[in-house]
């Protein structure tokens, strides 16, 4: 029996062994078929990624210069460090080395390097090139490096609201960096890197060259801008104000020489700055202009030959308009005032009297003619049209509040451009911030006549009286004639009524008045201790104007030397 059973057991074992081999070969064959059929494309991609890699070569972003060639926004060279987790041999060790050199979190970096579902991860975007070079010398497997620019603002907070900023990808996110992004950004290039089996680069194939962005030159003058910002900062401190805005405009060309907002911010740290501080309030924000808007009413009445500067009116202290009673800022008895005196003394009753003579339809037309209620066209993103009630929606009292700058909102740049048309002999010129792009010609601003030369000259003379004998005495500049207008406007509270404690004080002036060169606007939001434009904003105007007149062209010749103070 044992002799018979022995061969049978051996045969069963041989058959079992054979079946096992057949089964194993079947599994191997199925695995090979699955790898070659189902996973072939993914493994081909993996193999290709281990031997070649497409890299984007960023284009250098164009530089932004002021009108004199000072760099306001530049590209700073950095090094971006990346890694291929599929080629990283020891994620924990390599993360520890890289984190120590680049000052990163080693735990987070180790997790990213150990995640083999990705073939590319950033280790440090736009790192210090000195630290990156120190890491490169360690020759960590799977690590790569390429040069990249970081946007840098060498002048810190100078014109930061105007410039805006570019983000980590060097794309403009705000201000001129945003509106000029296509011009400044350029076109990135691409290249293919060939690697050996160990991941070392053995060849580079250039497939597309990068094209650097174009430089942009602004109309801003960094010296005028810096002075305006300094004066606003002092004004805010003096009057404990919420904010302040200034515009310095070349009346002849529309060039914006300065556009300042205080408080300011450093564009290099934009990510940590409160968003409202980043707004360029001269273009994006509106406010009720108060008495500075009386210019429109007076210009309309003069242009339609309804009055002359010497036409006189008997004016009571108050006037009844529909359901409202309008009165002058300071109590007085009934007086006779000429049109020139109405403007110089900023009489609300006088302005409404002129508006009633002009009529609702004509007044609405002059508001539009001066550019209010529509875009000025300034080359800056996010410009506001202001708030102008359409004529069809006017109520009976509108003719009583709009002529004195209530119930209507404007932007500082709109109001500055309107006064520039007086300085420019009746011709409105579009304000602009960009002088030229690359090697191109300087921008020639759009312009059109809105007033006759004669009426513009009459208004200019009347605005001189505002400073000589009216509410703008503190705007005077020794040695120069000044023409301008004060404004004091109550702000609207949340319940829709005018506040008794919150005001905007402003002054808009033209210098030198005999040969107009600059229009300077100053507005101060919510001053404390005083609210009047002639007290709060006019002195700031005087400081800015005094500096600019002495600085421009080596000093503009005084047109009123009799008022110069002795040394």
**Residue-wise pLDDT tens digits, 428-452:** 999 999 999 999 999 999 999 999 9
Same domain, 72 and 200: yes
Same domain, 109 and 62: yes
CATH number at residue 367: 3.40.710.10
CB contact at 8 A, 546 and 227: no
Which of 73-87, 174-188, 218-232 is modeled with the greatest confidence?
218-232
pLDDT in tens, 124-156: 999 999 999 999 999 999 999 988 889 999 999
* 509 pLDDT above the threshold of 80: yes
Mean pLDDT of 236-258: 97
- Cα–Cα distance for residue pair 504/518, rounded to 1 Å: 23
127 exposed, middle or buried (CB, 10 Å; 0-12, 13-18, 19+)?
buried
Domain total of the chain = 2
Q: What pLDDT is recorded for position 193?
A: 65
Q: What pLDDT is recorded for position 46?
A: 47
CATH number at residue 97: 3.90.1310.10
- Cα angle value 379/381/386 (rounded, 5°): 95
Q: How far apart are the first and last CA of the chain?
A: 139
CA distance to 255, 257, 277, 433, 456, per residue, from 67 (Å): 10, 9, 25, 10, 30
* 218 pLDDT above the threshold of 80: yes
SS3 of residue 202 by DSSP: strand
- Cα–Cα distance for residue pair 337/34, rounded to 1 Å: 100
Mean pLDDT of 48-69: 78
Q: What pLDDT is recorded for position 30?
A: 65
The tokens describing 91, both together, are 């994620």
* 34 pLDDT above the threshold of 70: no
Q: Which domain holds residue 159?
A: 53-218
Last residue of a domain, one of 197, 218, 239: 218
Q: What pLDDT is recorded for position 85?
A: 92
Alpha-helical segments (H) within 149-221: 160-163, 175-179, 181-185
Cα 436–chain centre separation: 18
Same domain, 310 and 428: yes
> Cis peptide leading into 260, omega within 30 of 0?
no
* 3 pLDDT above the threshold of 70: no
Within a domain: residue 303?
yes
> Which of 118 and 20 is assigned the larger pLDDT?
118
φ, ψ dihedrals at 88, nearest 5°? -75, 125
Within a domain: residue 103?
yes
Same domain, 137 and 248: no
Same domain, 240 and 163: no
Residue closest to 98 by CA, chosen among 145, 54, 52, 56: 145
CA distance to 183, 193, 420, 440, per residue, from 220 (Å): 19, 44, 17, 17
SS (H, E, C) 26-71: HHHHHHHHHHHHCCHHHHHHHHHHHHEEEEEECCCCCCEECCCCCE
Q: What pLDDT is recorded for position 1?
A: 47
pLDDT in tens, 477-496: 999 999 999 999 999 998 88
Within a domain: residue 45?
no
φ, ψ dihedrals at 427, nearest 5°? -105, 120
Same domain, 205 and 242: no
CB contact at 8 A, 63 and 73: yes
189 exposed, middle or buried (CB, 10 Å; 0-12, 13-18, 19+)?
middle
pLDDT in tens, 79-101: 999 999 999 999 999 999 999 99
Within a domain: residue 10?
no
CB contact at 8 A, 193 and 160: no
* 387 pLDDT above the threshold of 70: yes
Q: What pLDDT is recorded for position 241?
A: 97
Last residue of a domain, one of 179, 194, 218: 218
Within a domain: residue 288?
yes
Which residues, 6+ apart, have CB-to-CB distance to 324 below 8 Å? 397, 400, 401
Helix axes 360-369, 348-358, angle to 10 degrees: 100
Same domain, 185 and 74: yes
CB contact at 8 A, 356 and 480: no
User: How many helices (H) and strands (E) in the chain?
Assistant: 18, 22
Mean pLDDT of 315-340: 93
Which residues, 6+ apart, have CB-to-CB distance to 192 below 8 Å? 52, 53, 54, 55, 204, 205, 207
Within a domain: residue 38?
no
Q: What pLDDT is recorded for position 139?
A: 92
CA distance to 41, 44, 206, 498, per residue, from 47 (Å): 10, 5, 21, 72
* 196 pLDDT above the threshold of 70: no
Same domain, 362 and 466: yes
Within a domain: residue 297?
yes
SS3 of residue 328 by DSSP: coil
The tokens describing 351, both together, are 């302005």
Same domain, 356 and 209: no
- Cα–Cα distance for residue pair 138/478, rounded to 1 Å: 68
Which residues, 6+ apart, have CB-to-CB distance to 528 below 8 Å? 239, 240, 241
Same domain, 199 and 230: no
* 545 pLDDT above the threshold of 80: yes
Residue closest to 261 by CA, chosen among 179, 175, 374, 184: 175
- Cα–Cα distance for residue pair 345/210, rounded to 1 Å: 62
Which residues, 6+ apart, have CB-to-CB distance to 482 below 8 Å? 464, 467, 472, 475, 476, 509, 510, 511, 512, 513, 542, 545
- Cα–Cα distance for residue pair 201/336, rounded to 1 Å: 90
* 38 pLDDT above the threshold of 60: no
Which residues, 6+ apart, have CB-to-CB distance to 493 below 8 Å? 499, 502
pLDDT-above-70 percentage for the chain: 88
CB contact at 8 A, 259 and 282: yes
- Mean pLDDT of the residues in the chain: 90
Which of 28-42, 138-152, 371-385 is modeled with the greatest confidence?
371-385
Same domain, 231 and 179: no
> Cis peptide leading into 263, omega within 30 of 0?
yes
CB contact at 8 A, 89 and 80: no
> Which of 24 and 358 is assigned the larger pLDDT?
358
- Cα–Cα distance for residue pair 22/96, rounded to 1 Å: 49
Ramachandran assignment for 197, one of left (phi > 0), alpha (psi -120 to 50 degrees), beta (any other): alpha
- For 38-64, give one letter per residue: b (16+ CB within 10 A) or e: eeeeeeeeeeebbeebeeebbbbbbbb
CA R_g for the chain: 36
- Cα–Cα distance for residue pair 238/406, rounded to 1 Å: 27
Helical (H) or strand (E) element with 237: helix 222-239
CB contact at 8 A, 50 and 194: no
* 307 pLDDT above the threshold of 90: yes
pLDDT in tens, 405-421: 999 999 999 999 999 99
Q: What pLDDT is recorded for position 207?
A: 72
Within a domain: residue 473?
yes
Q: What is the DSSP letter of 214?
A: P
Cα 91–chain centre separation: 44
Same domain, 315 and 436: yes
């Amino acid at each position: 029996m044992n002799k018979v059973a022995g061969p049978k057991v051996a045969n069963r074992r041989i058959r079992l062994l054979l079946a096992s081999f057949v089964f194993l070969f079947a599994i191997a064959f199925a695995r090979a078929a699955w790898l070659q059929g189902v996973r072939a494309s993914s493994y081909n991609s993996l193999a290709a990624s281990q031997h070649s890699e497409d890299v984007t070569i960023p284009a250098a972003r164009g530089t932004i210069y002021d009108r004199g060639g000072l760099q306001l926004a530049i590209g700073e060279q950095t090094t971006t460090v990346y890694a291929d987790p599929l080629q990283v041999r020891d994620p924990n060790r390599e993360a520890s080395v890289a984190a120590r050199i680049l000052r990163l979190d080693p735990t987070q970096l180790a997790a990213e390097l150990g995640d083999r579902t990705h073939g590319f991860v950033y280790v440090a975007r736009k790192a210090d090139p000195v630290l990156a070079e120190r890491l490169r010398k360690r020759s960590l497997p799977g690590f790569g490096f390429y040069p990249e620019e970081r946007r840098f603002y060498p002048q810190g907070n100078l014109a930061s609201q105007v410039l805006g900023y570019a983000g980590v990808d060097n794309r403009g996110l705000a201000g001129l960096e945003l509106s000029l992004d296509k011009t400044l950004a350029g076109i990135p290039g691409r290249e293919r890197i060939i690697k050996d089996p160990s991941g070392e680069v053995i060849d580079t194939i250039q497939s597309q060259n990068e094209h650097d962005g174009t430089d942009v030159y602004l109309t801003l003058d960094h010296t005028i801008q810096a002075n305006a910002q300094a004066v606003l900062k002092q004004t805010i401190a003096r009057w404990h104000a919420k904010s302040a805005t200034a515009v310095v405009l070349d009346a002849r060309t529309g060039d914006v020489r300065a556009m300042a907002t205080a408080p300011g911010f450093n564009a290099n740290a934009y990510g940590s700055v409160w968003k409202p501080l980043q707004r360029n309030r001269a273009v994006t924000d509106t406010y009720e202009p108060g008495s500075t808007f009386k210019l429109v009413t007076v210009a309309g009445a003069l242009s339609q030959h309804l009055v002359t500067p010497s036409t006189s009116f008997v004016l009571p202290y108050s006037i009844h308009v529909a359901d409202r009673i309008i009165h002058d800022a300071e109590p007085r008895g009934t007086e006779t005032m000429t049109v020139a005196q109405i403007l110089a003394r900023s009489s609300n009753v006088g302005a409404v009297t002129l508006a009633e003579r002009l009529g609702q339809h004509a007044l609405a037309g002059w508001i539009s003619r001066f550019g209010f209620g529509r875009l000025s066209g300034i080359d800056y993103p996010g410009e506001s049209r202001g708030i102008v009630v359409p004529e069809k929606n006017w109520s009976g009292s509108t003719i009583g509040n709009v002529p004195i700058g209530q119930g209507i909102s404007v932007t500082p740049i709109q109001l500055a451009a309107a006064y520039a048309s007086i300085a420019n002999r009746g011709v409105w010129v579009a304000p602009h911030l960009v002088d030229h792009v690359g090697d191109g010609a300087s921008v020639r601003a759009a312009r059109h006549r809105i007033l006759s030369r004669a009426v513009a000259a009459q208004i200019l003379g009347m605005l001189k009286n505002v400073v000589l004998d009216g509410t703008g005495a503190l705007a005077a500049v020794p040695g120069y004639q000044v023409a301008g207008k004060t404004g004091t406007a109550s702000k609207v509270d949340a319940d829709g009524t005018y506040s008794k404690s919150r005001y905007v004080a402003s002054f808009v002036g033209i210098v030198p008045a005999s040969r107009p060169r600059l229009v300077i606007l100053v507005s101060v939001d919510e001053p404390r201790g005083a609210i009047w434009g002639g007290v709060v904003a006019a002195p700031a105007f005087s400081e800015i104007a005094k500096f600019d007149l002495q600085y421009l062209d080596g000093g503009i010749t005084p047109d009123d030397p009799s008022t110069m103070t002795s040394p």
